[in-house]
């Protein structure tokens, strides 16, 4: 088959959103890689990746700008990918935003099958169009490691009676992203419905993930062990061979400083002392939720 026709047939499979047709365009040991895969994909993994993209962008399409044979079975294809993000992708929640992403594929072919596809596009452009925060930081400097976090609040104003603390060590980015996706899509919606839930801080540093959850009473975290996604995730770690290990516990306050709020006059007010007004006479501001 003519290499230009082969490349067009390949992009037609993407535009038909047909993972099986995309995977079957490759030779038995054919490989696919782009900035989002992190590694070469082969066989069924290529179709699975396409399915993941179609879940995240159900209207995904490629406008092929140019296909140029480059000799010895090589093809250069310039394209613009378009799609609206209405499903999760690689652990990130859907944003509902549309992307218009230019890129280039370098294909090599033999006969009527593709030997390799190397895709190139700007990941920063993708993330910015999706509305994600872009934080540039090192993974590690000396003893310090860096990561990302998310905070969920319940608007409850009292002082917590306990904190549940968990951590899990995963074996890869893929496992860590699975933990993040389950936490965002399943566990957080469960938490906010539970009696006594006051707030959550979830963080990831490398392949380790942490949660700090505030509760009104120390017995309330037991609700998570009864049923639901949190219990399913725990069972997967304990009996399903997932992750390297982890730990969970409930901690109560030994001692704590008073809750302070700052008045518009710049004075600090001690709410634990029962102060309702500032020395300037203005009402004390509401404390931030835990």
User: Please, where are the H alpha helices in the chain?
Assistant: 3-15, 19-24, 44-56, 123-130, 173-182, 188-191, 229-239
Cβ 10 vs Cβ 3: under 8 Å? no
Beta bridge mates, 71: 74
pLDDT tens digits along 211-259: 999 999 999 999 998 878 888 998 898 888 999 999 999 999 898 888 8
- Let me know how many helices (H) and strands (E) the chain has, helices first: 7, 15
Q: What is the pLDDT of residue 154?
A: 85
By CB atoms closer than 10 A (0-12, 13-18, 19+), residue 152 is middle
Beta bridge mates, 102: 80
Q: What is the pLDDT of residue 200?
A: 94
Task: Give the C-alpha separation, 82 to 99, whole Å.
Answer: 6
Positive or negative: CA dihedral 280, 282, 288, 290: positive
Percent of the chain with pLDDT over 70: 99
Q: Which residue, 149, 127, 120, is CA-closest to 209?
A: 149
Cβ 44 vs Cβ 130: under 8 Å? no
Whether the predicted pLDDT of 117 surpasses 90: yes
pTM across the whole model: 0.63
Task: Give the C-alpha separation, 112 to 25, whole Å.
Answer: 8
Tally of CB atoms within 10 A around 188: 17
Query: Inter-axis angle of helices 173-182 and 229-239, to 10 degrees?
Result: 150
Q: Which residue has the higher pLDDT, 88 or 243?
A: 243
Q: What is the pLDDT of residue 17?
A: 96
Q: Which residue has the higher pLDDT, 2 or 77?
A: 77
Task: Give the C-alpha separation, 275 to 10, whole Å.
Answer: 70
The band of 1, judged by pLDDT with boundaries at 50, 70 and 90, is: low
Cα distance from N-terminal residue to C-terminal residue, the chain:
64
Burial 115-138 (b: 16+ CB within 10 A, else e): bbbebebeeeebeeebeeeeeeee
The DSSP bridge pattern shows strands 113-121 and 26-33 to be: parallel
Q: What is the pLDDT of residue 43?
A: 93
pLDDT tens digits along 16-42: 999 999 999 999 999 999 998 978 999
What domains are defined for the chain?
3-130 (3.10.450.50), 140-251 (3.30.70.100), 257-290 (no CATH)
Q: What is the pLDDT of residue 273?
A: 85
Cβ 58 vs Cβ 86: under 8 Å? yes
The band of 124, judged by pLDDT with boundaries at 50, 70 and 90, is: confident
């Amino acid at each position: 088959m003519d290499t230009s026709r082969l490349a067009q047939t390949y992009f037609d499979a993407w535009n038909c959103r047909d993972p099986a047709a995309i995977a079957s365009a490759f030779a038995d040991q054919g490989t696919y890689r782009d900035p989002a895969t992190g590694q070469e994909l082969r066989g069924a993994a290529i179709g699975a990746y396409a399915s993941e993209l179609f879940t995240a962008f159900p209207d995904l399409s490629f406008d092929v700008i140019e296909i140029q044979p480059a000799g010895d079975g090589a093809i250069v294809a310039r394209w613009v990918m378009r799609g609206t993000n209405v499903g999760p992708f690689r652990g990130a929640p859907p944003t509902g935003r549309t992307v218009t992403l230019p890129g280039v594929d370098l294909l090599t072919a033999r006969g009527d099958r593709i030997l390799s596809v190397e895709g190139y596009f700007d990941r920063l452009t993708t993330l910015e169009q999706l509305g994600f925060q872009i934080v540039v930081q090192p993974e590690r400097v000396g003893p310090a490691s860096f990561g990302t976090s998310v905070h969920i609040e319940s608007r409850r104003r009292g002082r917590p009676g306990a904190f549940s603390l968990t951590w899990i060590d995963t074996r890869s980015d893929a496992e860590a992203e699975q933990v993040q996706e389950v936490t965002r899509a399943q566990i957080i919606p469960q938490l906010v419905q539970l009696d006594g839930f006051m707030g959550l801080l979830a963080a990831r540093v490398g392949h380790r993930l942490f949660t700090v959850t505030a509760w009104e009473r120390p017995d309330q975290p037991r609700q998570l062990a009864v049923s639901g996604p949190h219990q399913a995730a725990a069972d997967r770690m304990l009996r399903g061979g997932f992750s390297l290990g982890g730990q969970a516990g409930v901690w109560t306050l030994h001692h704590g400083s008073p809750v302070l709020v700052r008045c518009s006059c710049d004075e600090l007010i001690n709410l634990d002392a029962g102060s309702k007004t500032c020395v300037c006479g203005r009402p004390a501001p509401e404390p931030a939720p835990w």
